[in-house]
Amino acid sequence: MLLLKRLIRSGVPVLALMAALLGAGSALAALGQPTPWQMGFQQSAAPTMDDITWFHNFVLWIIIAITVFVLALLLIVIVKFNANANPTPSRTTHNTLLEVAWTVIPVVILVVIAVPSFRILFTQLNIPPADLTIKATGNQWNWTYTYPDDKIEFTSIMLNDADRAKMNPVPPRLLGVDNPVVVPINKVVRVQVIGSDVIHAFAVPSFGVKMDAIPGRLNETWFKATREGVYYGQCSELCGKDHAFMPIEVRVVNEQAYAAWLADAKKKFALDNGAPATAVAAKQ
């Protein structure tokens, strides 16, 4: 704070300083996880999220234009038409051109917003032919992942501070898990989402994915990760006392690394043949 005051006194333009800080913030933003002082979304790692980010910025500019326009109108009214400046007000009650304009222009703006908005919704909900299917089951309070085609299933539990400290690199607090989901790069991954006890929600910001995990109902979503890396998400539906402690960790790796992981996982996490895929299935 003292430094800031000194800088302001020394004549450094505050706007330039803020721009520099914001620039530094985005440069520091790590891929796949939130960062302190983050502005805007997490970095995108999938085409759907690219679209969402574009749409967010697009709507932001429309909002800015409308806000500036309304502010300008208010200022004009305050300055030009106050009782001192304009003692005898006009008695105008109708202006056909103006009334048509203030009806049609907002409609046009809404259509301009609606077209890309519905296009993005459609791409999110219309699942392309999948290369890989993963079933994510929300439990109180962890996630079980099933790869039905490869007959593997494992549960993913948040790492505590002691376990994190032993790892290199140290995973982020409240986000790192013992058994992350591993997916190959540039492949369409269909995610089937369900809850085993209460409603949870499967969300990974960098992929633009958020889907409710509802007991007794199989929801579907999809993503195609186009950048290798580790991506974190969290349960996004209040689901009980440990809601904040059931993170999602997705590792996007190349084809060879995926094959190696899969071979290992088939030994470690093999599904008992004949047994139902999850506890949910067993209940039904």
Binding site for Cu ion (CB under 5 A): 200, 235, 239
Comparing CB distances to Cu ion, the nearer of 33 and 234 is 234
Dmax over Cα atoms in the chain, in whole Å? 88
Q: How far is the CB of 212 from Cu ion (least distance, A)?
A: 10
DSSP β-bridge partners for residue 229 = 252
**What is the SS3 assignment for 198?**
coil
Q: How far is the CB of 210 from Cu ion (least distance, A)?
A: 13
Comparing CB distances to Cu ion, the nearer of 174 and 262 is 174
DSSP strand pairing (219-224 vs 188-195): antiparallel
The span from the CA of 57 to the CA of 12, in Å, is 29
Which long-range contacts (C-beta less than 8 Å, at least 24 apart) are formed by 119-123? 119/51, 120/48, 120/51, 120/52, 120/55, 123/48, 123/51
The rounded Cα 224 to chain-centroid distance in angstroms is 14
Q: How far is the CB of 146 from Cu ion (least distance, A)?
A: 17
Q: How far is the CB of 232 from Cu ion (least distance, A)?
A: 15
Stated length of the chain: 284
Comparing CB distances to Cu ion, the nearer of 182 and 235 is 235
Alpha helices in 126-254 (DSSP H): 161-165
Query: How many CB atoms lie under 10 A from the CB of residue 30?
Result: 14
Comparing CB distances to Cu ion, the nearer of 184 and 233 is 233
Comparing CB distances to Cu ion, the nearer of 200 and 224 is 200
Q: How far is the CB of 198 from Cu ion (least distance, A)?
A: 7
Question: What's phi and psi for 214, nearest 5 deg?
Answer: -110, 130
The span from the CA of 282 to the CA of 135, in Å, is 15
Burial 140-152 (b: 16+ CB within 10 A, else e): bbbbbbbbeebeb
Comparing CB distances to Cu ion, the nearer of 202 and 258 is 202
The span from the CA of 137 to the CA of 197, in Å, is 10
The span from the CA of 156 to the CA of 251, in Å, is 13
Comparing CB distances to Cu ion, the nearer of 154 and 258 is 154
Q: How far is the CB of 242 from Cu ion (least distance, A)?
A: 8
Q: How far is the CB of 142 from Cu ion (least distance, A)?
A: 9
